[in-house]
Chains A and B, each alone.
Chain A
Amino acid sequence: MNHKNQKDYYTSSYIPNTKDGQNEMFDIMGINSVEELFSDIPNELKLHRDLALPKTMSEPELLKHMKNLAAQNVNCDTHICFMGGGIYDHFIPAVINQITGRQEFYSAYTPYQAEISQGTLQAIFEYQSMICRLTGMDVSNASVYDGATACAEAMLTAYNITGRTDIIIAGRINPQYAETCETYAKYRGINIIKSPFAPETGTVSMQYFNQAITENCAAVIVQTPNFFGLIEDLGEISKTAKNKGALLITCVDPISLGLLEPPASFGADIVVGEGQSLGNSMNFGGPGFGFFACRNDYMRKMPGRIVGETADSNNNRGFILTLQAREQHIRREKALSNICTNQALCALAATVYMSVMGKAGIKKVADLCIQKSHYMYKKLIDTGKFKPKFSAPFFKEFVLEYNGGDIKAMNNKMLQAGFMPGINLTNIGLDNCMLIAVTEKRTVDEIDAYTEYIKKAGEI
Chain B
Amino acid sequence: MGKNKVIFEKSVNNRIAYSLPECDVPEHNLNKYIPDKFLRVNSAELPEMSEIDVLRHFIGLSNKNHGVLSGIYPLGSCTMKYNPAINEELAKLAGFTDIHPFIGDENSQGSLKLIYELQKMLSEITGMHAFSLQPAAGAHGELSGLMIIKAYHEKSKEYNRTKILVPDSAHGTNPASVSMAGFETVQIKSDASGNVDIDDLRASIDDKLAGLMLTNPNTLGLFEVNIKNIAEIVHEAGGLLYYDGANQNAIMGISRPGDMGFDVMHLNLHKTFSTPHGGGGPGSGPVGVSERLAPFLPCPEIYADNDGKIRLNYDMPDSIGRVRSFYGNFGVMVKAYAYILSMGAHGVKSVSENAVLNANYLMFKLKEFMKIEYDRKCMHEFVATGAPLKEKGVSTLDVAKRLLDFSVHAPTVYFPLIVKEAMMFEPTETESKESLDEFVEIMRDIIKEADENPEYLKTAPHNTSVGRLDDVKAARKPILAWNSDKE
- B35 nearest in chain A by CB position: A393
Q: Taking the complex as formed, is B68 at the interface, i.e. its CB lies under 8 A from any CB of chain A? A: yes
Looking at the complex, which one of A117, A145, A352 makes contact with B140 (CB distance below 8 Å)?
Answer: A145
Do B342 and A310 touch (CB < 8 A)?
no
Contact A140 to B176, CB < 8 A, known contacts A40-B225, A113-B410: no
Does A1 sit at the interface, judged by CB under 8 A?
no
Contacts of B23 in A (CB 8 A): 367-368, 371-372
Q: Does B332 contact A (CB under 8 A)?
A: yes
Assembly CA distance A372 to B432 (angstroms): 56
B192 within 8 A of A: no
> Which of B26, B111, B227, B430 is A15 in contact with, Cβ under 8 Å?
B430
CB <8 Å contact, B139 and A177: no
Q: How far is the CB of A211 from chain B (nearest CB, A)?
A: 25
A17 pairs with B24, CB closer than 8 A: no
Tell me whether A41 and B255 are in contact in the complex, defined as CB-CB below 8 angstroms, given that A118-B61, A352-B54, A365-B20 are known contacts.
yes
CA distance A207 to B3 in the complex (A): 56
Binary interface encoding of chain B residues 1-36 relative to chain A, with 1 for a CB under 8 A from any of its CBs, else 0: 101101110010011111111011111101001110
A114-142 interface bits toward B, Cβ cutoff 8 Å, 1 = contact, 0 = none: 11111110110110111011100011101
Residue pair B95, A73 in contact (C-beta under 8 Å): yes
- In the bound complex, CA of A331 to CA of B417 (Å): 12
A380 to B223, CA, bound (A): 65
B66 and A117 form a contact (CB under 8 A): yes
Chain A residues with CB below 8 A from B481, complex form: 125, 128-129, 132, 138-140
Q: In the bound complex, do residue B138 and residue A346 qualify as a contact, i.e. CB atoms below 8 Å apart?
A: no
Q: Kindly state the separation between the CA atoms of A142 and B44 in the bound complex, as whole angstroms.
A: 19
Whether B96 lies near A73 (C-beta < 8 A) is yes
A-B interface, 3 closest residue pairs, ranked by CB to CB distance from nearest: A70-B95, A285-B326, A285-B101
Per-residue CB contact flags for chain B residues 148-183 toward chain A (1 = under 8 Å, else 0) read: 001000000000000000000001110111111110
Contact of B110 among A24, A73, A235, A329 (CB under 8 A): A73
Binary contact track B69-94/A, C-beta < 8 Å → 1, others 0: 11001010010111110101110111
If the complex has contacts A81-B100, A355-B7, are A73 and B107 also in contact, measured as CB distance less than 8 A?
yes
Q: Is A105's CB under 8 angstroms from B67's CB?
A: yes
Asked whether any CB of chain A lies closer than 8 Å to the CB of B349, the reply is yes
Q: Which of A109, A259, A286, A358 interacts with B16 by CB under 8 Å?
A: A358
Q: Tell whether, in the assembled complex, residue A77 and residue B94 are in contact, meaning their CB atoms are under 8 Å apart.
A: yes
Residues on A with beta carbons closer than 8 Å to the beta carbon of B64:
116-119, 122
The answer to whether A299 touches B480 (Cβ under 8 A) is: yes
Which stretch (B201-209, B236-244, B470-478) binds chain A?
B470-478
- Is B451 engaged at the interface, CB distance under 8 Å to the other chain? no
Report the separation of the CA atoms of residues A139 and B86 in the bound assembly, to the nearest whole angstrom.
Answer: 38
B281: contacting residue among A54, A129, A343, A375, CB under 8 A: A343
Minimum distance in angstroms from B217 CB to a CB of chain A: 8
Is B119 on the interface with A (CB-CB < 8 A)?
Answer: no
- What would 29 A/B residue contacts be, using CB atoms closer than 8 Å? A10-B347, A15-B430, A53-B124, A56-B344, A66-B93, A69-B110, A70-B93, A73-B99, A83-B102, A104-B69, A106-B279, A109-B75, A115-B464, A145-B136, A188-B182, A189-B182, A231-B34, A282-B100, A284-B101, A307-B480, A308-B474, A339-B137, A341-B280, A346-B278, A357-B18, A359-B44, A360-B18, A361-B46, A370-B34
- Stretch of B286-294, B350-358, B388-396 contacting A (4+ beta carbons < 8 Å): B350-358
- Residues of A contacting B4 in the complex (Cβ-Cβ under 8 angstroms): 118, 122, 316-318
A37 to B364, CA, bound (A): 12
Residue from B17, B48, B81, B401 whose CB has the most chain A CB atoms within 10 Å: B17
| Interface membership of B331, Cβ < 8 A | yes
Least Cβ distance of A124 to chain B in Å? 8
- Judge whether A108 and B345 touch: CB under 8 Å: no
Instruction: For B65, list chain A residues within 8 Å (CB).
Output: 104-105, 108, 116-120
Q: Encode A396-437 as 1/0 by CB contact (under 8 A) with B.
A: 000000000000000000010000100100000000000000
CB nearest to A8 among chain B residues: B346
Contact A346 B282 (CB under 8 A): yes
- Is A212 interfacial (CB-CB < 8 Å)? no
Are B69 and A335 closer than 8 Å at their CB atoms?
A: no
A460 in contact (CB, < 8 A): no
Which parts of B345-376 form the interface with A (CB within 8 Å)? 345-351, 353-354, 356-358, 360-361, 364-365, 376
A201 at the interface (CB under 8 A from B): no
* Least Cβ–Cβ distance between A413 and chain B, in angstroms: 14
B67 A311 Cβ-Cβ under 8 A: no
Q: How far is the CB of A72 from chain B (nearest CB, A)?
A: 3
B276 at the interface (CB under 8 A from A): yes
Known: A86-B325, A146-B324. A318 touches B136 (CB 8 A): no
Bound CA span A93–B203, Å: 60
Interface flag for A196 (CB, 8 Å): no
User: In the complex where A15-B351, A95-B51, A359-B48 touch, is A313 in contact with B459 (Cβ < 8 A)?
Assistant: yes
Contacts of A52 in B (CB 8 A): 124, 345
A107-B69 contact, Cβ under 8 Å, with A338-B142, A355-B57: yes
A47's contact among B259, B298, B322, by CB below 8 Å, is which?
A: B259
Contact A34 B353 (CB under 8 A): yes
| A-contact 0/1 string along B28-58, CB 8 Å cutoff | 1010011101111101111111010011011
- Whether A375 contacts B63 by the Cβ 8 Å rule is no
Min CB gap A260→B, angstroms = 6
User: What band does the interface of chain A fall in when counting residues whose beta carbon is under 8 Å from B?
Assistant: 35 or more
Residue B129 at the A interface, CB < 8 A? Answer: no
Cβ distance A432 to chain B, nearest Cβ, rounded Å:
17
Q: Which residue of B lies closest to A258 (CB)?
A: B44
The interface on chain B, measured as residues whose beta carbon lies within 8 A of the other chain's beta carbons, has a size of 207
The contact string, 1 if C-beta is below 8 Å from chain B, for chain A 44-82, is 111100111111110100110111111111111100010
- CB pair B346–A46 under 8 Å, yes or no, is no
Q: Which residues of A contact B83 (CB under 8 A)?
A: 103, 106-107
A113-B410, A286-B101 known, 5 other contacts, Cβ within 8 Å: A51-B253, A95-B17, A233-B38, A265-B41, A443-B21
Complex Cα distance, B171 from A122, in Å, reads 27
How long is the Cα–Cα vector from A350 to B94 in the complex, in angstroms? 19
A334–B172 Cα distance when bound, in Å, is 10
Is A333 located at the chain interface by the 8 A CB criterion? yes
Residues of B with C-beta under 8 A to A282: 97-101
Determine whether B415 belongs to the interface, using a CB cutoff of 8 Å to chain A: yes
- What is the distance, in angstroms, from B392's C-beta to the closest C-beta of chain A? 21
Task: Check if B281 sits within 8 Å of A143, measured CB to CB.
Answer: yes
User: A348 at the A/B interface (Cβ < 8 Å)?
Assistant: yes
Distance, CA A302 to CA B343, complexed state (A): 41
Q: Is the CB of A17 within 8 A of B433?
A: yes
Instruction: Name the residue among A22, A75, A134 with the largest chain B CB count within 10 angstroms.
Output: A75
Does B185 count as interface, using CB distance less than 8 angstroms? yes
A22 to B432, CA, bound (A): 10
List, in ascending order, chain B residues with CB within 8 A of A21's CB. Answer: 432-433
Inter-chain CA distance A260–B8, complex, in Å, is 22
Q: Max chain A CB contacts within 10 Å: which of B7, B62, B84, B479?
A: B62
Closest approach, in angstroms, between the C-beta of A219 and any C-beta of chain B? 18
Task: Tell me which residues across on chain B come within 8 A of A119, comparing CB atoms.
Answer: 61-65, 279
**Shortest beta-carbon distance, B185 to chain A, in Å?**
4
A50-B253, A109-B73, A333-B175 known; A284-B327 Cβ under 8 A: yes
* Residues of the A chain whose Cβ atoms lie less than 8 Å from the Cβ of B377: 36-37, 39-40
CB within 8 A of B467: which of A25, A66, A313, A358?
A313
Q: Is A345 an interface residue (CB 8 A)?
A: yes
CB pair B282–A287 under 8 Å, yes or no, is yes
| Given known A-B contacts A53-B121, A371-B27, A113 and B409 have beta carbons under 8 A apart | yes
Q: Report if A210 contacts B (CB, 8 A).
A: no
**A305 at the binding interface (Cβ < 8 Å):** yes
Closest-by-CB residue of A relative to B15 is A358
Q: Nearest chain B CB to A262's CB is how many angstroms away?
A: 7
Q: Pick from A162-170, A178-186, A242-250, A383-391 the stretch touching chain B.
A: A178-186
Q: Does B114 reach chain A (CB closer than 8 Å)? A: yes
> Is B439's CB within 8 Å of the partner chain A?
no
With a 10 A CB-CB cut-off, give which of B86, B89, B345, B432 has the most chain A CB atoms: B345
Q: Does B340 sit at the interface, judged by CB under 8 A?
A: yes
